[in-house]
Amino acid sequence: MTLDILYQDEFLVAVDKPAGMLVHRTKMAAQERVVAMQTLRNQLDKQVYTIHRLDKGTSGVLLFALDATSARLLSELFQSRSITKTYRAIVRGWIHEPGIIDHALKERLDKTTDGKARKDKPAQEATTKYSVISRTEIDTPVGRYETARYSLLDIRPLTGRKHQIRRHFKHIFHPILGDRKYGDRDHNHFLRETLYADRMMLAATGIQFMHPVTGVPIGIEVSSGFPNSILRHFSNSGLLDSTKSLS
């Protein structure tokens, strides 16, 4: 397979990673046959360097460097929080107003790959900003709820903790639809069996930064890739809000 290239120059390349694809192999997934890093290497026939990661279930903008120097410069931009990332998500329940989740997160360690990591680290600051695009209500009982209510959100993480967006929306009792680790089992089942969508409803839809070599502002955007089987409920619901852009 090939990846959709969203942007490319001599220093970096951005692709649209599909949901369900790992960025690269790990000890826990050493036998994974298709990963974004190797796929792009084969596609471009050259070395690529990972700069950041998206969870396997998250689709969207994924950035790679094409040489070691560019990789270092881009990594420094991420570390200094000079890169703006935007996401789109569908969450359980209605959210009516824009907001900020300011909730420190303890580092989640993996037993296989983080065996030597400190287990007594204090919780790290974590902040996520969001705004409401639309809400919908589907007249079908799900779990203990008489109807299925969902909100479509624009999200901007201001920090970059592991699983930050997913954990933050679980924290405020609006878990992301399709999230098998932090989500709602009944609504995930409804998503698969009734809405015919078997993926997590989280997508990295934009990234903005100053090019570390040329100094030119770069803005890369992509659609959420969410299936029409669920998006149509928002457009037909009669509850479509005017988009409140993040600022």
Reduce the DSSP state of residue 139 to 3 states and report it. coil
Distance CA 132, CA 136 (A): 12
Q: Is the pLDDT of residue 5 over 90?
A: yes
- List, for residues 99-120, the tens digit of each pLDDT value: 999 999 998 766 554 555 566 7
Does residue 245 fall inside a structural domain? no
Whether the CB-CB separation of 69 and 35 falls below 8 Å is answered with: no
CA distance 201 to 208: 22
Distance CA 94, CA 148 (A): 10
The string of pLDDT tens digits covering residues 148-159 is 999 999 999 999
Inside any domain, residue 242:
no
* Listed range (13-22, 27-36, 106-115, 213-222) with the worst mean pLDDT: 106-115
Give the pLDDT score at 239.
44
Active-site residue (options: 16, 55, 154, 179): 55
User: Is residue 102 among the annotated active site residues?
Assistant: no
Would you say residue 241 lies in a domain?
no
Q: What is the DSSP letter of 159?
A: S
- The residues, ordered by sequence, that sit 6+ positions from 47 with a Cβ below 8 Å of its Cβ are 41, 66, 67
Q: Is residue 124 part of a domain?
A: yes
Residue type at 5 in one-letter notation: I
Is the residue at 246 inside a domain? Answer: no
Decide if 40 is inside a domain: yes
> What is the number of domains present in the chain?
1
State which residues form the domain around 12: 4-235
CATH of the domain at 127: 3.30.2350.10
In a domain, 134, yes or no: yes
Assigned domain for 243 exists: no
